[in-house]
Structure 1
């Protein structure tokens, strides 16, 4: 993303809007974020209102590279420093014990806080300009709660509209997000009792984390902190989504077509003579697939289909983040495919 042009006047204006308690959308290397001053509870409440987000669902606080981590976190285990040295700026969010003076609004009332330093040059410039780099910007993805995350400025405009009549006053355009899915979230707030816990997979894999800290992250238990993007149903288009194994895709599409069902299709390989009203071929490797996934889901969502069929990706570790997003996108559509097929009998 080093070739992204920086509109410094627009970035300064956006920083002033944040300081005045307004909402600003901005690019990160993962997805576009909807930002507010993390220490202004009224501004953070505006995020929840704009997104329709439950107030107990925490948001991630984004920091400039030179930020004082101890201002935000009451406890910083050595593993956090190791991971910061290895992966910040970058797509890794660390859950730490929240400093007592940080408002509850960003943590959903928990005693923990999610912190991240993004690598996108526009995000970094904004964070350096906001309160001279000493502030934090609370920013979940810039979309309605539970919907597909935005990876372009136009996606944000499509969600909210931008301007005086919108809760979102401006969006900084930084091109398409480089990673394309949200950050890995790792809980380090209970190191003494639980060790590192993976709350959300992403671009930074558990294998890479384990290489740095010498400790394989475990899966969350019932007492794990709530974290952004971890509800069972999330990242979903309006059109139902179903995951289908590659070998079953042609037959499934043909059966749906025979029953008069309109099908959109996301696949990793060409499928000749498949009767889908819209389809997209995504890259065969996980990073490229993640980069294109949300834009493809949005495009298929606008095709007027009854269902979006997605060729199930491999179940390998490198695909963990992609599979997590697709599983959640399809969660509320469980059973829809069977009903569409049965309805034609």
Structure 2
């Protein structure tokens, strides 16, 4: 194995790095992690009477559910999470919840292919925070039943369920639910909220005439899609692309929570309807489950949403493949925080470039 810590060596050839199983050629879209947006908006919709509650319930009814996304039991699977003991005088917290979020080019297409990027969304037991943890597609990991390979190969070998099992084996933490995100729906959602503003740390130009300046930039749907799909012009390829994805998700949440969205019945209807059309969930995420989770959330704005990168220690070449090399000690710390519901402390201790918080600057309100 060869290693490089400050180059693009580990982000090399992507077109020939898949398993040999045949698959239909498709556009490769990134992950757009909108589940928490959906839950936040539904909490508002279901928490008020009349028109808004009706729209929230209608959106739930239209969400697609698929058994192929439901995590499966197997021998040796990590145990379900348990609530942390309540301190004296404090309300008993619930168990934390982990969602695996994967990208798809079509909400109806979950045939074996590749999920080029994925995240775990960790909802804390007290429901006061959500942590989005990106797992690079090129992490070199054990894939159950298939030996060593890149993380996104798990999707090619066995679809969402093998991907979930691979993440569970990698972290030692049970994943409770799976959500598939449709990137075409993401474009429409960004337009539905009237565009977003994000901080871009790197000036780039991948396609002729499509330039993203350093600093605060405005993005509509198609431009936002281009922004989060870029990787070649970025200093660390897929790692920096994952950072962009996280900041765009946070910007969408910020925009949805504004009075301009929430107090406008027409805009609210468009946003809620588009959210429902953007996600496909496992069949255990019933209307009642989502409603109960939404109403239990205690988020206080976008400051309650933390963004992290699963630890890697560099880039390398293994068996002819350009890979991201797992930081086993760092991953053990992350796994312990996920399992023990101590992500607040872990996040506070890992706000640096390695964790994915690459100097984010919040736009002025």
Under a length normalisation based on structure 2, what TM-score does the superposition of the two structures give? 0.24
Indicate the structure whose relative CO is greater, using CA pairs within 8 Å and at least 6 residues apart: 2
